[in-house]
Amino acid sequence: MAERIDYDVKPTPIGPTAREELDTLLETLHQRGVLRLANDMVGANDRILKVLVDGLSKDGSLNAIQNLSILGMALSRIEPAQFYKVVFAFQSAFGAVSGYKPDGKHDEAPGVTGAYKMLHDDDLWAALMPIIEGLKTFAGELDKEAEKPITAFSGKRTEQ
């Protein structure tokens, strides 16, 4: 009786192999100058690091970093829906301000009687009250002390 032959059929290649893909990637990085840039950066990393450290150790840079982190903290406390509403309200307001064309009847100051009539304009008060409440809240917050006083990284100075 004949012996059985073990033969595994190799699958037909349907695309480049991993080695071919890697070679293509390496060649593309070389052609685009990315490899040269990476080699130059690795070769000069101590000089680049010195420039970065010198630039970041200045008071202005430290203030900018601290201010950006505070801005990030403040933005993280605002709900996205509320932020969306406020941002697009500002966009609409800026559009209304930039597109305003005087209609002729409001060219002069309203005078005493005009100001008195404005005091009884419900639409005007409905529009002004959120702004007034916002200003009161803003002024109240300016009187508060900072939650965490910011100190400089170098230890040379502290915020007052």
Split at pLDDT 50, 70, 90, the class of 118 is: confident
Q: What's the chain's average pLDDT?
A: 84
Instruction: Enter the pTM of the model.
Output: 0.49
Bridge partners (DSSP) of residue 158 are 151
**pLDDT over threshold 60, residue 152:** no
How many Cα atoms occupy the beta-carbon half-sphere of 138 within 13 Å? 6
Residue 154 and residue 62: Cα distance in Å, rounded?
Answer: 9
Tokens 């010195």 found at: 50
**pLDDT over threshold 80, residue 150:** no
DSSP, res 7: -
Instruction: Considering only the C-alpha atoms of the chain, give the largest distance between any 2 of them, rounded to a whole number of Å.
Output: 121
pLDDT at 77: 92
DSSP, res 144: S
**pLDDT over threshold 50, residue 96:** yes
Span 37-51, average pLDDT: 88
Span 136-154, average pLDDT: 74
pLDDT at 72: 93
Complete DSSP assignment for 87-140 = HHHHHHHHHHHHT----STTSS--HHHHHHHHHT-HHHHHHHHHHHHHHHHHHH
pLDDT at 91: 93
Cα dihedral across residues 147, 153, 158, 160: positive or negative = negative
30 or 45: which carries more pLDDT confidence?
Answer: 30
Residue 95 and residue 104: Cα distance in Å, rounded?
Answer: 20
